[in-house]
Structure 1
Amino acid sequence: MEADRFQAAQFRLLHPDLVPQRREVLSHAASMLVQMGLDDTLVSASPVHQRLARVVLASSDVIEWSPARGYGLDEPTDYDVHFGVVRVGGDRGAVFLSGLLIAYLDVLENAARMGTTLPEEDWRTLMWAPTALFDHVLGRAPAGMTITTPARRGPEHLPQERWMTGHRLFYALLQAVRFAVGGVLRASVDGAESQVVDEIELATSTLRAATVALRFAGDVAPGAVPQGTRLETRDHCYLWKVLDQVRVAAPRVLYERYATALRRLNDLRTSTALLAAGN
């Protein structure tokens, strides 16, 4: 029943070919969300504020979106059906950021109700990613934020919901990594060295967060969630496809950090039965 509830609440995710490639596409949407109080600060907001924010972010009256047609995904994949994902276009920046925030809010609610055994350092890595993204696209100076780690055990047992919310966040974060990696390659072509550094650091931080999201999805008792395949998403395949280009574009030390994070994600995927399948 818990999984059915989340499948019924469809999750809008951009088609991989529609992931924004320029910071400007996201900066306008980020500014709008900041003005509405629907930004990265939601991860440390009160539960009541978070629940209200999720309703607003999911509203088509606030976020302009339309079905993604003509990109080879007119029919939903098995992965889309399983996780209640609807591929959309429309205002790419707003869809991109609102989807990421919704995924975070769902993970936070599940963690509050069920608890998590993730180490505090992992939880901070996961929760810091949206702020890193908003700082990046808005050109904000990094500032401190309060991150509270959930209790190890909560009052409810919701493994199916955990499985679904963790994977939804994982896929949303992979698109954030793809956005940043695209920025690395574009800045390199433009000869903007400082921009290359900013983009590769964002790619690494969001990639580490995606790995934690996958760990969160599997943070349940053995046998509590279904077994799955290990097919790669198109966003994940893209990261491997352009890895050599990133190596050429980025400073060596920063590239090594990024490549290490990518290998660790791959090791996690191949060493567990987590479902990381789809397009």
Structure 2
Amino acid sequence: MEPFRLLHPDLVPRHRESLQHAASVLVRMGLDDTVLSASPVHRRLARVVLASSGVVEWEPAPGDFGDDPRLDVVRVGGDRGGVLLSSVLIGYLDVLCNATRMGTSIGEDAWRTLLWAPTALFDHVLRRPQVGMTVVTPGAGTDHLPYERAQAGQRLHLALVQAARFAVSGVVRAQEDRPLVEDCVTLATACLRAATVALVFAGDVRGGQAVPVVETAEHRYLWQVLGAVRVAVPRARFEQFAAALRRLGEVHTTSPLLVAGG
């Protein structure tokens, strides 16, 4: 299987417009967030297509900034919007595949929290009205795939934290546009909550050994701009965002921690 491609941290887009073309292309191809509710066969095909360079253009990023050989994660450049969106979708498709084959003990509310983020991301980028989401049940498989689970959960976690960084950049950048700021912080909060569930999913293995969690440049960025977010958004929205970030930190501290380069 090809490596899991994440954007180089310095290339994460800061403007919604940077993702709109890629999102529109994916919608026309039927490869947006709605693909997550497709049949397992369709999801497997979608994963192959999304990972191909024919759909999303990518190129090697300079150096090995943030590469993680344990998870087969490589940092890339290229079509920034396409890489960011496809990494989120591929991460979800892998988690759904593993959950179907292996089952999960994650509760219904947490599962809904996990699956809300991709819809929120596409709603934000395309300025779609929020009309709800389709919840995909995880399945009740009995296969024992602990390595695949840890890999899928942590990869999705990393992709969602990168999506949260994109959203928070909008908060910091667009302080004069109050509706956009609130939309951005709402998306960031949804991505952080989902990233936390993804991390829990990665360790949802009976008798499994905890897999070290990687701290990345995206994680550090979110803590660094916390003060700017506090100033930019209404108190209630900030408290929701801060609570989601703290909860993510709590899950990190209960797991072995590795620090990635940069």
**Counterpart check, 1:93 vs 2:90:** no
Amino acid aligned to 2:74: V
CA displacement at 1:225 relative to structure 2: 3.4
CA displacement at 1:124 relative to structure 2: 0.6
Q: Hey, what's the Cα distance between the residues in 1 that align with 2:12 and 2:125?
A: 14
Q: Hey, what's the Cα distance between the residues in 1 that align with 2:210 and 2:197?
A: 19
* 8 Å contact from structure 2 (residues 47, 90) kept in 1: yes
Amino acid aligned to 1:187: A
Aligned to 1:132: 120
Q: Hey, what's the Cα distance between the residues in 1 that align with 2:89 and 2:215?
A: 23
- Name the % identity: 60
* 8 Å contact from structure 1 (residues 269, 276) kept in 2: no
* 8 Å contact from structure 2 (residues 211, 255) kept in 1: no
Query: Structure 1 residues 107, 225: CA separation in 2 closer, same or farther (over 3 Å shift)?
Result: same
**TM (normalized to structure 1)?**
0.90
Task: State the SS of the aligned residue for 1:66.
Answer: strand
* 8 Å contact from structure 2 (residues 64, 75) kept in 1: no
**Counterpart check, 1:205 vs 2:190:** yes
Q: 236, 239, 249: which is aligned to 2:219?
A: 236
Query: Structure 1 residues 276, 149: CA separation in 2 closer, same or farther (over 3 Å shift)?
Result: farther
Q: Hey, what's the Cα distance between the residues in 1 that align with 2:229 and 2:28?
A: 34
CA displacement at 1:25 relative to structure 2: 0.6
- Please identify runs of 4+ aligned residues in structure 1 that moved more than 6 A: none
Q: Spell out, residue by residue over 1:11-46, the C-alpha distance to the aligned partner (whole angstroms, 9 max, x if none).
A: 111001111110001111100100010000011111
Q: Hey, what's the Cα distance between the residues in 2 that align with 1:203 and 1:215?
A: 19
Aligned to 1:257: 240
Aligned to 2:98: 110
Q: Hey, what's the Cα distance between the residues in 1 that align with 2:187 and 2:87?
A: 18
Which 5+ residue runs of structure 2 have no aligned equivalent?
none
Query: Structure 1 residues 197, 119: CA separation in 2 closer, same or farther (over 3 Å shift)?
Result: same
Query: Structure 1 residues 241, 53: CA separation in 2 closer, same or farther (over 3 Å shift)?
Result: same
**Counterpart check, 1:182 vs 2:169:** yes
Q: Hey, what's the Cα distance between the residues in 2 that align with 1:124 and 1:136?
A: 18
CA displacement at 1:86 relative to structure 2: 1.4
Task: State the SS of the aligned residue for 2:68.
Answer: helix
Q: Hey, what's the Cα distance between the residues in 1 that align with 2:46 and 2:214?
A: 33
* 8 Å contact from structure 1 (residues 167, 276) kept in 2: no
Q: 153, 156, 159: which is aligned to 1:169?
A: 156
**TM (normalized to structure 2)?**
0.95
Q: Spell out, residue by residue over 1:33-75, the C-alpha distance to the aligned partner (whole angstroms, 9 max, x if none).
A: 0001000001111111101111110111111110011xxxx13
CA displacement at 1:268 relative to structure 2: 1.0
Amino acid aligned to 2:183: D
CA displacement at 1:164 relative to structure 2: 0.4
Q: 225, 236, 239: which is aligned to 2:209?
A: 225
Q: Hey, what's the Cα distance between the residues in 2 that align with 1:196 and 1:203?
A: 11
Amino acid aligned to 1:41: T
Q: Hey, what's the Cα distance between the residues in 2 that align with 1:107 and 1:245?
A: 33
Which 5+ residue runs of structure 1 have no aligned equivalent?
1-7
Aligned to 1:45: 38
* 8 Å contact from structure 1 (residues 103, 169) kept in 2: yes
Number of equivalent positions: 261
Query: Structure 1 residues 38, 107: CA separation in 2 closer, same or farther (over 3 Å shift)?
Result: same
Query: Structure 1 residues 227, 171: CA separation in 2 closer, same or farther (over 3 Å shift)?
Result: closer
CA displacement at 1:9 relative to structure 2: 2.9
Please give the residue correspondences for 1:27-66 in structure 2 after superposition, counting only pairs within 5 Å. 27-66=20-59
Amino acid aligned to 1:212: V
* 8 Å contact from structure 1 (residues 125, 212) kept in 2: yes
Q: Considering only aligned residues, what root-mean-square deviation do their CA atoms show, in Å? A: 1.5
